[in-house]
Structure 1
Amino acid sequence: MMNENVKIVELNAENWYECCTLEISMEQQKYIEPNAISIAQSKFEPSLKPYAIYFEEKVVGFLMYNSVQEELDGYWIYRIMVDKDFQGKGIGKAATKLMISKMATLPNFKHIVVGYHPENVGAHKLYASLGFIDEGHRFGKEMAVVKHITV
């Protein structure tokens, strides 16, 4: 999988519905909200920035981050999902790197935080491979891992 085939595009009138039709595996459904819920949330919380993930010009995923700092003095990744038919190709990792590049333009950018269920092995592998560290932070049923940004 070549990273240049992956891009992220701000959610818009042309791609929002495709994001709503993407599917994850039955096993993953207990770990992530449907994209439609995330898209609705972004309309009521304007600091949330939703994006469609494209692979070879096709919408294959969805991601969203917060553009204001929250807990742990970090910017939080709210959602990353890749359609079940496109998983295992490195698309999620490439899209996350692109998202981190966009987040790097935010003021006082020093930490990125993401929360996920401890049993979500796929999420754990993805974030660990990108340098996120489990420092023991827990929020309800989720663990939060942190990536410290050094300039």
Structure 2
Amino acid sequence: MITLQPITDQNWYTFCQLTLSDAQQAYMEPNAISLLQAVYEPTLEAHAIYEDETMVGFLMYNTVLEELNARWVYRIMVDHAQQGKGIGRQATELMLEEMGQLGTEPIVVGYHPDNTGAHRLYESLGFVDEGNRFGREMAVIRRA
């Protein structure tokens, strides 16, 4: 069973130990940076992803509107040893439900165009590439 749980003083170190594959590391900041970002940007909502009692990943999104008049997904990661089991998809679905409770505004996620795994996931969840680009990332959008 996949759940989203807070990152606390009891689990933050485990959170920082989660890693991506070598090939994926170029696409995302280290978890410690994401944790600091969540601490210093109070509109960010960060969650550890658990499979039963084991922390297996992390996600973070903004609770306020940003570019494209949308809420942005900042991070979704599943530890390299836990990938390929559908955890990322299940956790993303839970996050999208949670974000949907904030309003009906679009949801945007940015990722590097070469990240084919991210592309397949977001496309399967109804995100569409409308041509938006921010730096080295493409931004796909899901409208209510």
Give the TM-score band, short-chain normalised: over 0.9
Contact 1:74 1:111 in 2 (8 A): yes
Match of 2:110 in 1: 115
Match of 1:88 in 2: 84
Length-normalised TM-score, structure 1: 0.93
Task: Output the CA distance in 2 between the equivalents of 1:10 and 1:76.
Answer: 19
1:130 pairs, out of 110, 125, 129, with: 125
Letter in 2 for 1:137: N
Tell me the secondary structure at the aligned position of residue 61 of structure 1. Answer: strand
The count of residues paired between Structure 1 and Structure 2 equals 144
2:53 pairs, out of 51, 57, 61, with: 57
Match of 1:143 in 2: 138
Tell whether 2:14 aligns with 1:18.
yes
Runs of 5+ unmatched residues, structure 2: none
Tell me the secondary structure at the aligned position of residue 145 of structure 1. Answer: strand
Task: Output the CA distance in 1 between the equivalents of 2:114 and 2:78.
Answer: 18
Task: Output the CA distance in 1 between the equivalents of 2:88 and 2:59.
Answer: 9
Of all paired residues, the percent bearing the same amino acid is 56
Query: How do 1:99-110 and structure 2 match up within 5 A?
Result: 99-106=95-102, 108-110=103-105
RMSD (Å) for aligned C-alpha atoms: 0.8
Task: Output the CA distance in 2 between the equivalents of 1:17 and 1:101.
Answer: 27
Runs of 5+ unmatched residues, structure 1: none
Length-normalised TM-score, structure 2: 0.97
Where has structure 1 moved over 6 Å in runs of 4 or more? none
Match of 2:5 in 1: 9
Contact 1:74 1:109 in 2 (8 A): no
The CA deviation at 1:70 is: 0.3
